[in-house]
Amino acid sequence: MTQSPMTPGIAANRLSQAEMAANFADIAPRFDRHEAMVAADRCYFCHDAPCMTACPTSIDIPLFIRQIATGTPEAAAKTIFAQNIMGGMCARVCPTETLCEEVCVREVAEGKPVEIGRLQRFATDTLMDKGIHPFTRAAPSGKRVAVVGAGPAGLSCAHRLALHGHEVTVFERRPKPGGLNEYGIAAYKSADDFAAREVDWLLKIGGITIRPGALGSDISLAALEADHDAVFLGIGLGGVNALTIPGADLPHVRNAVDFIAELRQCDKSALPVGRDVVVIGGGMTAVDAAVQSKLLGAQTVTMVYRRTKDKMSASLYEQDHATAAGVKIIYGAAPKAITPAGVEFAYETGETFVLPADQVFKAIGQTLTLPPIAKDGAKLARRSGKVWAGGDCAAGGEDLTVTAVAQGRDAAEEINAVLVGAVG
C-alpha cells in the first residue's frame, strides 16, 4: 500500500524527471566489445580456479572468459547458461565482490580482480539481445511437475525440468513472474525491465506454463501431489519479522520490502518519500531501501544497525555504495521507540539518541509463514516424498538470486532422476 503523500514530510515529485532518470540509470552499464576484450585479457585462466569454486552455480569462469577473449561471446554465454540459466540477472545483482571476484588471483595479488560479473553480463546480453535460446528441449517425457513460485528457484527448476522433456506448470501468487528479481532488487541494478525480459527469454525453452495461484488459498499441496508426478516449492519468504517496540504500527512506518516492490512497479516520480528517512536493519534490503530513498529525493537518510559493522549482512561494498550515495550508517544501536516525529535508539552502553524521521522503513528480515507446511517459522526441508523445495523457503536459503538458481537447478536434476527411474 502506498504511503499517503498527505503524511507530514512525505511527498512525491521531489526531483525532476531528468534527475530521477539519472539517479535510476543502470549502475554498471555493460562493456562494449573492446572493453570486454581488455577485461578478459587480465584473466590468468587458472587451473582449479578459485573463482569457479566460489560461484554457487559452479560456472566455468576461466572457460567463458577465454571464449570472450577469443571473440566468441555467444559460446561464453552458453557456458554460463549451462550452469545458471539466469546468468543475465546474476551478472547484475550477484555480490561478486564477496564471491568469485574476492578470490580472484588478481584481487589477491594486485587488489583489483578480473571484472567477472561485467564480463558475464557482456556475454549473456550479447546472446539474449539476439533472441537466441541456446538449448533445445528433449522429447516429451509424459511426466508432469508442479512448481510453486516463479522466482529464481522456481524458474530455474522449471527450465531444467522442461529441458529434460517434462511438462511444467508454474503457479505464481503475484501479478508478474520473477519473484525477487522482479519485486525485490534495487531498480538501478536491473534497469530497462530486464527481469521481465529474462523470464520471457527463459520460457522459450517450451513446456512451461505459468498460472496464477497461491499455495494455501488457491491451491493445496495435497492436490498438487495428487495431480502431478512431482512438486517443487520455491515460495520464498512471505512474512516479515515483527518490530516489537512502541510506535511500530504508526502510519509512517512500513516494511522495506513493500517499499522496494512498489518502487519497482510504479512511476518513480509519483512515489512519495520522506524528507528525513530512517531505515532499521543491516542487510541488502536495508541498503536498497536507504539508497533508493536518497535517489527519490529524501534530504537525509540514516541506516541504523544494532550490531557492529563487521557483523552487517550487507557487504562492505554495499555499505560503501550506500555512504557514497549520501546515506549515513550508525552501528551498534537498537531501536527503542518510534514517535510521529522520530525514532529513539540506544547503544549497548545505555546511551540513547533520537533521529528525526517522517518516514521509517523496517528491514529486519523475513520469515516463512505458511502453516501447516512450516511450523513455528521453520524453513522447509529440501526433499520429502514427492515434494522438493529450494531458495529462501528451504533450509539454507541465503537471500541470493544465484543460490536460489543453484538450488532450483539441483532439485530439478534430482526430480528428473526420480522420474526417469535412475534413483528410487
Residue 303 pLDDT > 70: yes
Q: What is the mean pLDDT of residues 259-270?
A: 92
Query: Is there a domain that residue 138 lies in?
Result: no
Place of cell 516429451: 140
**DSSP strand pairing (144-148 vs 167-172):** parallel
Residues contacting 60, CB < 8 A, separation 6+: 52, 79, 83
**Spatial distance between the Cα atoms of 282 and 312, rounded to a whole number of angstroms:** 5
**Spatial distance between the Cα atoms of 210 and 167, rounded to a whole number of angstroms:** 11
| 175: helix, strand or coil | coil
Bridge partners, residue 337, by sequence = 344
**Tens-digit pLDDT profile for residues 202-232:** 999 999 999 999 998 899 999 999 999 999 9
Query: Is there a domain that residue 150 lies in?
Result: yes
Helices (H), 168-218: 180-183, 194-202
Bridge partners, residue 209, by sequence = 169
**Spatial distance between the Cα atoms of 74 and 58, rounded to a whole number of angstroms:** 19
Q: Are residues 150 and 210 in the same domain?
A: yes
Residue 370 pLDDT > 80: no
Residue 380 pLDDT > 80: no
Q: Are residues 16 and 120 in the same domain?
A: no
Q: Are residues 40 and 124 in the same domain?
A: yes
Q: Are residues 228 and 248 in the same domain?
A: no
Cell of 294: 536518497
Residues contacting 223, CB < 8 A, separation 6+: none
Query: Is there a domain that residue 72 lies in?
Result: yes
Q: What is the mean pLDDT of residues 270-284?
A: 95
Query: Is there a domain that residue 231 lies in?
Result: yes
Q: Among 27-31, 115-119, 278-282, 301-305, which stretch is predicted with the lowest mean pLDDT?
A: 27-31
Contact between 288 and 22 under an 8 Å Cβ cutoff? The reply is no
CA dist list (Å): 125 to 24, 130, 281, 362, 382: 20, 9, 34, 35, 32
Q: Are residues 355 and 382 in the same domain?
A: no
Contact between 94 and 117 under an 8 Å Cβ cutoff? The reply is yes
Q: Report the chain's terminal Cα–Cα distance, integer Å.
A: 47
Contact between 345 and 333 under an 8 Å Cβ cutoff? The reply is yes
Nearest by Cα to 186 from 27, 19, 397, 392: 27
Among 71, 101, 128, which residue terminates a domain?
128
Q: Are residues 117 and 211 in the same domain?
A: no
Q: Are residues 164 and 228 in the same domain?
A: yes
Q: Are residues 105 and 163 in the same domain?
A: no
Q: What is the largest CA-CA distance in the chain?
A: 68
Q: Are residues 361 and 372 in the same domain?
A: no
In total, how many domains does the chain have?
A: 3
Contact between 334 and 282 under an 8 Å Cβ cutoff? The reply is no
Query: In terms of residue numbers, what domain contains 169?
Result: 144-238+368-419
**Spatial distance between the Cα atoms of 67 and 121, rounded to a whole number of angstroms:** 14
Q: What is the chain's mean pLDDT, rounded?
A: 92
Place of cell 495428487: 226
Query: Is there a domain that residue 185 lies in?
Result: yes
State the CATH number of the domain containing residue 361.
3.50.50.60
Contact between 340 and 248 under an 8 Å Cβ cutoff? The reply is no
Q: Are residues 155 and 190 in the same domain?
A: yes
| 9: helix, strand or coil | coil
Query: Is there a domain that residue 262 lies in?
Result: no
Residue 382 has what pLDDT?
Answer: 58
Q: Are residues 188 and 206 in the same domain?
A: yes
Among 93, 128, 163, which residue terminates a domain?
128
Q: What percent of the chain has pLDDT over 90?
A: 83
Among 96, 128, 160, which residue terminates a domain?
128
State the CATH number of the domain containing residue 98.
1.10.1060.10
Place of cell 536493519: 281
**Tens-digit pLDDT profile for residues 104-143:** 999 999 999 999 999 999 999 999 999 999 999 999 999 9
| 363: helix, strand or coil | coil
Residues contacting 55, CB < 8 A, separation 6+: 61, 99, 100, 402
Cell of 385: 516424498
Query: Is there a domain that residue 1 lies in?
Result: no
Query: Is there a domain that residue 260 lies in?
Result: no
Cis-peptide, bond into residue 251, ω within 30° of zero = no
Got the DSSP string for 260-281? HHHHHHS-GGGS-EESEEEEE-
**Spatial distance between the Cα atoms of 117 and 107, rounded to a whole number of angstroms:** 14
Instruction: Give the amino acid at 258.
Output: D
Cell of 270: 509519483
Rg (CA), the chain: 22
Contact between 305 and 85 under an 8 Å Cβ cutoff? The reply is no
**Tens-digit pLDDT profile for residues 25-79:** 999 889 999 999 999 999 999 989 999 999 999 999 999 999 999 999 999 999 9
Q: Are residues 314 and 176 in the same domain?
A: no
Instruction: Report which listed range, 151-165, 311-325, 383-397, is most confident.
Output: 151-165
**Spatial distance between the Cα atoms of 224 and 148, rounded to a whole number of angstroms:** 9
